Amino acid sequence: MKSKVHLQKLEEYSLTRVEQFVQNSLEVLDPEASMFHPDHKVLLKPNLLRGFKPERCVTTHPVVVEAVCRVLKDRSVNQIVISDSPALGSLSAVADKAGYGPLEKKYGVKILPLTDPIPFENEEGVPHLKIAGCLKQYDRIINLPKVKSHCQMTMTLSIKNLFGLVIGKRKPVLHCLVKNDKIKFGKMLIDIARHVDPCLTIVDGIQAMQGQGPLNGTAYPLAVMGASTDMTALDRVFADLLNIPLDKVYALQAARLKQFGQFDLEHIEISGPADYRSLAVEDFEQPYPIDISFNPAHLLKSFCKQFHELVIKEPRRAAGGSGQ
């Protein structure tokens, strides 16, 4: 059976149109409407890397998250939690800056930090890998990545987005432990993705990030949203749309080697546009590659910045001080 990917051209963050895309995607991917039940507790995992406004394209746009909330509410799902582990700052501060704050009051969703890091035995033997143990509280997980270039892994999308389920500063430590072996790092990502097994992935590609992502790139009007139950198939299609050499998309290469999901376009059924290649672009700026490892000085700086953000800057903002 072919893996299914649903695409749609969307040039702006219209809540009505994004919600319709989510509805259409579920009609394609879940025709029997069996994916969600009213008693399910559902976790939404967007990309909340850092506290920036939506137009910076660092985070999953709040309209995409809101559209998913609306569709779940239509299916009488009332227990919805939004969570991630930002690289800098608390989840509440980052989510508020990214425009997620109104969702709590409007839809009764909760924005909760990831908790209970537990050891994760992975096939690659990467030591000290722990992921959020709180995941076991949820009946379904929806993966909501942003289309972004990535200066270490070339592209960050469905598979890479789940690395956010590794809590806090364990992430840069794991970068060090793989010793700049990007394929090994990709294989570790596959182990995480296989374990987490989100029921659905919806990609925010209306405004993507190009260049030195995932933080320092620039906005790119890709104008494409995508959805699938197969993360590899979805990432494979977007790599094709962006014209990124597959040998540089290390998470996809790892998926191919570990036989995770569908890598071969001939075995991917793409719905939406009559010709999905009509959505492809030629001028997406790829990142200049850098090493995946962090040196000890970089790690120490990262810990200090997090301490300063949590202990000094965020309390000042909450108190109405400058702290910017």
156-193: per-residue pLDDT in tens? Answer: 999 999 999 999 777 877 867 788 899 999 999 999 99
264-287: per-residue pLDDT in tens? Answer: 999 999 999 999 999 999 999 999
pLDDT of residue 297 exceeding 80, the answer is no
Using an 8 Å Cβ cutoff, are 201 and 158 in contact? yes
Give the percent of the chain with pLDDT over 70.
94
Gap between the Cα atoms of 82 and 66, Å rounded: 11
Top pLDDT among 102 and 311 is at 102
203-232: per-residue pLDDT in tens? Answer: 999 999 999 999 999 999 999 999 999 999
Gap between the Cα atoms of 122 and 84, Å rounded: 21
Instruction: Indicate the burial class of 199 (C-beta count within 10 angstroms; 0-12, 13-18, 19 or more).
Output: middle
- Among the residue ranges 64-78, 117-131, 146-160, 228-242, the one predicted with the least confidence is 117-131
Gap between the Cα atoms of 66 and 54, Å rounded: 13
With b meaning 16 or more CB within 10 Å and e meaning fewer, what string describes 267-276? Answer: ebebbbeeeb
CATH topology for 3-293 is Rossmann fold (3.40.50)
User: Averaged over 77-86, what is the pLDDT?
Assistant: 97
Domain ranges of the chain: 3-293
Gap between the Cα atoms of 227 and 201, Å rounded: 6
Gap between the Cα atoms of 240 and 94, Å rounded: 31
pLDDT band at 312 (very low <50, low <70, confident <90, very high): confident
Token duo for residue 63: 């309209």
